[in-house]
Structure 1
Amino acid sequence: MSSALQVDLDLVRKYSVPGPRYTSYPTAVQFTSEFTPEAVIDDLRATNAAPRPLSLYFHLPFCQTLCWFCGCTTVITGDVTKADIYLRYLEKEIALTRPLLHPGSKVVQMHFGGGTPNFLNPDQLRRLGTLIRDNFGFEPGAELSVELDPRRLTRDHVAAFREMGVTRASFGIQDFDTAVQKAVNRIQPKELSDAAAAWIHETGYESLNVDLIYGLPHQTPESFARTIELALELKPDRFAVFNYAHVPWMKPAQKIVERAVLPTPETKLAMLKLVIETLTARGFVYIGMDHFARETDELAVAQRSRTLWRNFQGYTTRAGADIYGFGMSSISQTPTHYRQNEKTLPEYYAALDQDRLPLHRACFLSEDDRIRREVIMRLMCDLELNFDSLSASLGIDFRAKFAREIAALADGPAADGLIEMRPDGFAATDVGRLLIRNLAMTFDAYIGSTEKRFSKTI
């Protein structure tokens, strides 16, 4: 069993500043509309000169109601026929994208996110599954996952995704306390979560992840302790426990949340301490950021073997796969660029009506970007850096290129006990693992001009 991590709140408090989550580097704030679609298409063709492992992402944006804390790109509607229209446009987007891929490329990972993927009815989901299977080949053992909303879920939804090959499911609880649920407009009695978990276990899914959020109105350490205990009853394999990112300048609905009393920074820190010490004492490994997994889970195994990776789907064991995002606002990634689709339905539909890829923003990586991406991703996943192995794998003198960053780490985080310096590199301590975003920011060449656009690291 894992030993419980101990949390030093004074150090956490000192380092709680705005910073990226590093699902990409450069981060999304560096994406720009100043690009040509031809450059993206040329890069895709060059990338696909040989077969590549593929990770597909389908953004299904519809929700029946808006959760006021939500930071996702959503479309609020009760009209399920809108999903039929959306499926026709997904088919168009796939038809435009498929010829750009190497015919021998196979899917190793696929994820359905939103929005609410189970906004689609089971027949619509089966139609989507047929569309995907008709256009893509899958590697045996490919990881297929979905985000579900227990409030709108039926057993037939769960079965439809399972028929598509999905074996990993995730759903949000956020908090079981009714006062908290009312304050964020997400009423979800525990019976709904119980039913969702039972269906997932009964229909042959291999893994269940549960999402919680701390920092919401009316939460206390005592109330959140009850939420954690109730969530453990669902027998999840993973937890994602997020710090509520309050960014009302980006998500205006979050201004409604401000009408209730938000927890103080001290209360949030106490809840963070509670989460980490409780879950690590109950057999979960703290993977990093907000993620916990049982010791036998493949995320924990991959982290121990230094094969864990991080992308727009979060932590993953499918390193090196090119991401192809379909649907409005979805993000794609190749070794040399990122690109994001149009962020509204009218713009997304209009592009496809003109038989062109619905590109909104892009970011082409320089050689320095690619080096720093590797360094940051290895730190986020391994919780340590080996200067010698990175010098070899990247073809650089790591100590020379990053002399300023190494000195900054020694002067700050090392002196504060966040890292332990070694002859060949450094490793994060227990408290440093909580602040891994801060450590990664040391290697971010863009951070000086962008940090105000991020939520706080804790």
Structure 2
Amino acid sequence: MPSTSPTLVNTANTALWDSNLIARYDLSGPRYTSYPTAPQFHNLISDSDIAAALARSDSTGKPLSIYCHIPFCDTVCYYCACNKVITADKRKSIPYLERLFKEMAMMASKIDRHRAVDQLHWGGGTPTYLSLEQMTALMRETRRYFNLHSDDSGEYALEIHPASVTPQTLKGLRDLGFNRLSIGIQDFDPQVQEAVNRFNSVEEVTRLIKQARDSAYHSISMDLIYGLPKQSLNSIAKTLAAVIKLSPDRLSVFNYAHMPHLFKVQKQIDEKALPSASEKLDMLHYIIERLRDEGYVYIGMDHFAKPGDELARAQADGKLHRNFQGYATHGHCDLLAFGVSAISQIDNLYLQNHKQLDHYYQALDQNLAPVAKGFAMSQDDHIRKAVIMGLICQFHIRFDAIEQAFGIDFKHYFEQALAQLAAMESDGLLTIDKQGIHVLAKGRLLIRRICMAFDAYIAPATKQSFSKII
């Protein structure tokens, strides 16, 4: 296990740990799944704004990404910060799917339905809360309204809770066209599982992985969380060893953010059982080292991938993107999102649906788009987004690329941001030369802090609650 010394020997495709710098820069900040971020969304988006954005989107002919939010879960996980509905009554999903189909039909009537869907993702909640029959119906309706690939070339993924599916269900989902899985492990330790009310055994997950590979899924991703109650460096090491043995193509290792004032369910967690801040850092330090030794590429923030995975290849090719599902390989797509709380990105617009089921239902029952709020990006937003996404995805940007794309003088336009970065350059987080900005190994773990220098909304957003950077 790693020591707590300030630095480690650097290697390619990973991050260099520096405890002193982490202590200095580990503030709260956005995760930049979008720019501007969701706290900036407002309710001043009009139907004409949406219609114009859809027309501009159609004129590009770009392929689409589709996201469906299934909010239901049988039981509650105490750490969860997702938009969810906890119910064991499976009948609750019937009226929801009826509205979801209607929302799809309404959107399909407003766009060119010949545009290919290169990416499809079901999230939640727990998408596999639905029966296989219901999931078949949802995929059928999606194909009815949108141009899904039939040759298995699209990136079609869904999130699963291991305890909610069987190997037979996974085979059925593969037959529907899904070719990627995101499996929420979180932790295998029984004491931790008891503390967060989330249960899945190594044996259950092993059976699912075998079935997924037998069914020729293209990629398997697993999620872990560090900082949960009852976790220790030893327990997280055991969980990680079991996960590595299962050999997922991708891993996401999330920092548990304890914010019970925002997420009431987290009040079920015993704060006295939470690991300390220093213990959490030791866990992350160990995870990074262990995955590096296993050959995983450090993609950024909390994502790791095998070198041959499409995520790692996209980063190497300069094509990595970031959206509301995290790092992604299809940044060229406009995103159509369906379901309660789902967020679309269409041309220059972000659109977020109502977060409450009754409001979502009411809008659709009145034949209205279930949009609660959104954001229309300005030219300045587009410029800053390009810089932030370049840094957070590729760890570097070229001044000339931004200047040619937007007709600006980078150093003049971002004079204040570059002044902020001067101290970070002195600390060895990055370098700034005539060509551009290059994030160094010490800065990779702190990439969110670096990106914040280019965020025009950070100053007025200081009262908003974000998770810690690390």
For normalisation by structure 2, the TM-score amounts to: 0.94
Deviates more, 1:302-311 or 1:48-57: 48-57
Determine if the alignment matches structure 1 residue 354 to structure 2 residue 357: no
Q: Which residue, 397, 414, 426 being the options, matches 2:425?
A: 414
* Residue 449 (structure 1) aligns with: 460
Name which of 39, 46, 62 aligns with 2:56.
Answer: 46
Q: CA deviation at 1:426?
A: 2.0
Alpha carbons of structure 1 residues 150 and 260: separation in structure 2 relative to 1, 3 Å: farther
Give me the TM-score of the superposition, normalised by structure 1: 0.97
Q: Tell me the equivalent position of 1:150.
A: 162
1:223 is aligned to 2:232? no
Equivalent pair of 1:214/1:272 in contact (CA under 8 Å): yes
Q: Separation in 2 of the partners of 1:181 and 1:348?
A: 33
> Within 5 Å, which residues of 2 pair with 1:48-67?
48-67=58-77
Q: Where do residues 1-400 of structure 1 align in structure 2 (5 Å cutoff)?
A: 5-139=15-149, 141-400=153-412
Deviations 1:1-27 (A, max 9, x none): 967644112211211111000010000
Helix, strand or coil for the counterpart of 1:81? helix
For structure 2, the residue ranges without an aligned partner over 5 or more in a row are: 1-10
Distance 2:126 2:188 in 1: 19
Contact 2:383–2:402 (8 Å) recurs in 1: no
Indicate the percent of aligned positions where both proteins have the same amino acid.
Answer: 42
Partner secondary structure for residue 210 of structure 1: strand
CA shift, 1:190, in A, is: 1.7
Structure 2: distance between partners of 1:381 and 1:46: 26
Query: CA separation of 1:373/1:92 partners in 2, compared to 1, >3 Å: closer, same or farther?
Result: same
User: Cα gap change, 1:260/1:172 in structure 2, threshold over 3 Å: closer, same or farther?
Assistant: farther
Look up the match of 2:6: none
Deviating more after overlay: 178-187 vs 432-441: 178-187
Q: Deviations over 1:138-182 (max 9, x none)?
A: 345211011001011112321232122111101111111111111
Mean Cα displacement is larger for which, 84-93 or 141-150?
84-93
Cα offsets for 1:83-131 (capped at 9, x unmatched): 2222111111011110111233110100010000110111111111111
- Distance, in Å, in 2 between the alignment partners of 1:3 and 1:162 is 32
Per-residue CA shift, 1:404-458, capped at 9, x if unaligned?
A: 1112111x21111111222211211112110110000000000012244211101
Report the AA paired with residue 172 of structure 2. A
CA separation in 2, counterparts of 1:258 and 1:444? 35
Larger displacement relative to structure 2 (45-54 or 112-121):
45-54
Cα separation, 2, equivalents of 1:162 and 1:120: 15
Q: Which amino acid aligns with 2:294?
A: R
Deviations 1:260-281 (A, max 9, x none): 4211111111111111111011
**Cα 1:104–1:187 shift into 2, 3 Å:** closer
* Distance in structure 2 (CA, Å) of the matches to 1:65 and 1:2: 42
Letter in 2 for 1:64: D
Pair 4,378 (structure 1): closer, same or farther in 2 beyond 3 Å: closer
The residue type paired with residue 59 of structure 1 is: H
Q: Against the structure 1 CA distance between its residues 347 and 295, is the aligned structure 2 distance closer, same or farther, given a 3 Å change threshold?
A: same
For 1:393 and 1:35, locate their aligned partners in 2 and report how far apart those are by CA, in whole Å: 27
DSSP-derived class of the 1:49 partner: helix
- Which letter maps to 1:436? I
Equivalent AA in structure 2 for residue 321 of structure 1: C
- Which 10-residue stretch deviates more, 267-276 or 197-206? 197-206
Give 1:50 shift: 4.4
In 2, Cα distance between the equivalents of 1:137 and 1:40?
21
Tell me the distance in 1 between the aligned counterparts of 2:354 and 2:122: 18
Q: How many residues align?
A: 457
Tell me, yes or no, if the aligned pair for 1:49 and 1:102 is still in contact at 8 Å.
no
Distance 1:294 1:127 in 2: 34
Q: Rate the CA distance shift 1:436–1:19 in 2: closer, same or farther, 3 A.
A: same
CA distance in 1 between partners of 2:401 and 2:68 (Å): 36
- Give me the whole-angstrom Cα distance separating, in 1, the residues matched to 2:164 and 2:272: 26
RMSD across aligned positions (CA): 1.5
Which range moves more in the overlay, 272-281 or 159-168?
159-168
Unpaired segments ≥5 residues, structure 1: none
Q: CA deviation at 1:134?
A: 1.1
Check whether the contact 2:15–2:443 (CA below 8 A) recurs between aligned residues.
no
**Separation (CA, whole Å) in 2 of partners of 1:81 and 1:160:** 21
Shift of 1:53: 1.1
In 2: Cα distance, 1:259 partner to 1:3 partner: 35
Q: Aligned in 2, Cα 1:6/1:39: closer, same or farther, shift over 3 Å?
A: closer
Alignment check: 8 A CA contact 1:2 1:284 kept: no
> Residue 100 of structure 1 aligns to a residue in which SS?
coil
2:8 corresponds in structure 1 to none
CA separation in 2, counterparts of 1:85 and 1:249? 31
SS in 1 for 2:397: strand
